[in-house]
A = this chain, B = another copy of it.
Amino acid sequence: MHYSIKQAARMTGLSEHTLRYYDKENILPYLERTQSGTRRFSDRDIEWIEFLNCLKKTGMSIENIKQYTDLCQQGDETLAERLEIFKAQRLAIEEKIAELNESLQVVKAKISRYSEAYAAYQENNKT
């Protein structure tokens, strides 16, 4: 199956503008064109975009994604390098989760204190 940019946008949740921007940045390595120049998205492209979405959620920049995409197109010699990228990214995600858990504790503590303060405030302002 092949899809127009409009369909691809709907399927991936990105805008047509963003898909063209990603193409311009060369991070859609499998994307083909018709002879008149229209982009022709395949299932492989859709899957790739969904994978990019996942990488972006972990905080990976377009620049880093570009580097990875380039390595993918250079064949098996870059396998070790690509493996290292993901190992580093795994660490980064784990650190981010740990950091968020810490912040969660701080926010929860705030909620406790505000709950108490608010209860006391209501008590003082009883009619």
- Is A20's beta carbon under 8 Å from chain B? no
Query: For the side of the interface on A, what is the size category?
Result: 20 to 34
Taking the full assembly, how many copies of this chain does it contain?
A: 2
- Is A2's beta carbon under 8 Å from chain B? no
What are 30 A-B contacts defined by CB distance under 8 Å? Answer: A51-B106, A54-B102, A54-B103, A54-B106, A54-B107, A55-B103, A57-B99, A57-B103, A58-B100, A58-B103, A58-B107, A76-B121, A79-B117, A79-B118, A79-B121, A80-B118, A83-B114, A83-B115, A83-B118, A86-B114, A89-B107, A90-B107, A90-B108, A90-B111, A93-B103, A93-B107, A94-B104, A97-B100, A97-B104, A100-B100
| Chain B residues, CB < 8 A from A114 | 79, 82-83, 86
